[in-house]
Amino acid sequence: MIRLSRITDYGIVLMVRLAQNPDDEARNARNLASEADLPVPVVSKVLKTLAREGLLSSQRGSKGGYTLARNAEDISVPEMITALEGPISLTECSVHPGACSQELSCDVREPWQRINSAVHGALSKITLADLTTPELAGSIVPLSALRVDLESAGLE
Amino acid sequence: MIRLSRITDYGIVLMVRLAQNPDDEARNARNLASEADLPVPVVSKVLKTLAREGLLSSQRGSKGGYTLARNAEDISVPEMITALEGPISLTECSVHPGACSQELSCDVREPWQRINSAVHGALSKITLADLTTPELAGSIVPLSALRVDLESAGLE
DNA sequence: TATTTACAGGACCGCTGCGGTCCGATATTG
DNA sequence: CAATATCGGACCGCAGCGGTCCTGTAAATA
């Protein structure tokens, strides 16, 4: 199914909410959880992970909470996915070389590598800012850089 | 991780071997399994699924086995993936509308839909024939239609 | 300094789904 | 009839995921 894990889904939604936060005050887990109507422990876990991976800045103590570590334009979709569920790859051998006994004789390996990087390249052009559509507009600037030349990705 | 399931991986490798089969004699599961160095029951299961989904033709009895149901140029990567592990989608809500309680208020939903179809569109341009590189060449015609305009996919 | 707030790290647990095996039925060949 | 192969589905062990909870630590406030 090539599905994102639920945790990743939550994480991206939370990132979007943080990106939409007007002032740059830190938002705490309880607050975000009630706003997104999700269990607090889950939200807390996700935010901790995102902070550990460097996508969020955290501040402890009273008045503490989370803020984006960078501008929304500088955070890509693959970064968020990778932070929450490891490297993006369709095939095992791209991530764990040697795990597959077929690796040497596999004649499908090389094409898959290129497909992998093509998908990754396409996603990497999409930023958190692209996902942060103001509730109203929506039709003006859709996913800014979605036009992607996959062939160039294939030649990396 | 956005990983293909192992079954799907096997399935595509087997499809490639069938596509490389010079004569159009049917290949049986035992035969393919030993060639790919995989357990017979697993190969059998995968082939059964591919046949049920219409990507392979099967013939029972002695001298029976499997052949491609269509030309390799007419079988796309997403078709194979979908046959083996269901619809390709990054988010749950694209496949099972209503399963997510956030669906109505979710402001990330619409961008993801477009990303979904972009990825799907990119993959759909790649055929089984593209994966069937003759061991030698490899650099001449790499993944023929890999140049893809993702923006058009987004406008579907 | 004491208290409260909130993140950090990690242990823990139930359950679904996946990889993998096996069996009985059916169709084809000779 | 006998041998060969697919077909459909039951079955099982287990890793991984979603989700909870507990203890420690840092910051703010009074």
Q: What angle do CA B95, A53, A83 make, to 5 degrees?
A: 20
CB contact under 8 A, A148 and B150: yes
**pLDDT cut 90: percent of chain A above it:** 46
Higher pLDDT, A69 or B146: A69
Using the structure, give the distance in angstroms from the CA atom of B81 to the C1' atom of D19, rounded to a whole number: 30
Tell me the C-alpha distance between B29 and B138, whole Å. 28
In chain B, % of residues over pLDDT 90? 46
- How far CA B80 is from CA of B2, B4, B16, B103, in Å, comes to 16, 11, 11, 29
- Coil/strand/helix, residue A100: coil
Whose CA is nearest the C1' atom of nucleotide C22?
B41
The stretch A95-118 carries a mean pLDDT of 79
Q: What is the pLDDT of residue B1?
A: 58
User: Which of these, B32, B36, B35, B63, lies nearest to B48 by C-alpha position?
Assistant: B32
* Helix, strand or coil, per DSSP, at residue B58: strand
Per-residue pLDDT reduced to its tens digit, B97-112: 877 777 777 878 888 8
**DSSP E strand boundaries for A78-133:** none
Contact B76, B12 (CB under 8 A): no
The token pair at A21 is 């936060």
- Residue pLDDT, tens place only, B57-79: 999 999 999 999 999 999 999 99
At residue A1, the pLDDT reads 58
Are A16 and B108 a contacting pair at CB < 8 A? yes
Q: How confident is the model at residue A96 (pLDDT cuts 50, 70, 90)?
A: confident
Cβ contact (<8 Å) for B88 and A36? Answer: no
Q: How confident is the model at residue B123 (pLDDT cuts 50, 70, 90)?
A: confident
- What one-letter code names the amino acid at A119? V
DSSP secondary structure letter of residue B136? S
DSSP letters for A4-33: PPHHHHHHHHHHHHHHH-SS---B-HHHHH
| Dist. CA A118–CA A15, nearest whole Å | 25
Tell me what the mean pLDDT of segment A60-81 comes to. Answer: 95
Find the angle CA(B150)-CA(A53)-CA(A125) to the nearest 5 degrees.
15
Q: How far is the CA of A34 from the C1' of D9 (A)?
A: 45
Residues of B in contact with A128 (CB under 8 A): none
Taken in order A152, B143, A120, A92, the sign of the CA dihedral is negative
Is residue B148 within 8 A of residue A147, CB to CB? The reply is no
pLDDT tens digit sequence for A1-47 = 578 899 999 999 999 999 998 777 899 999 999 999 899 999 999 99
Q: How far apart are CA A155 and CA A150, in angstroms?
A: 9
Phi (first) and psi of residue A57, to 5 degrees:
-100, 140
Taking an 8 Å cut-off on Cβ atoms, the answer to whether A88 and B6 are in contact is no
HSE value, Cβ hemisphere, 13 Å, CA-based, for B44: 5
Band (pLDDT 50/70/90 cuts) for residue B138 is: very low
Nearest nucleotide to A43 (CA to C1') is: D19
| Nearest-angstrom CA–CA distance, A119 and A87 | 13
- Residue A149: its chain B contacts at CB < 8 A? 147
Residues 6+ apart with CB under 8 A from A113: A91, A94
Report the distance from CA of residue A48 to the C1' of nucleotide C9 in Å, as an integer: 9
CB A10 within 8 A of CB A83: no
Cα four-point dihedral sign B148, B152, B155, B156: negative
Residues of B 74-133 whose CB lies less than 7 Å from any atom of strand C: 85
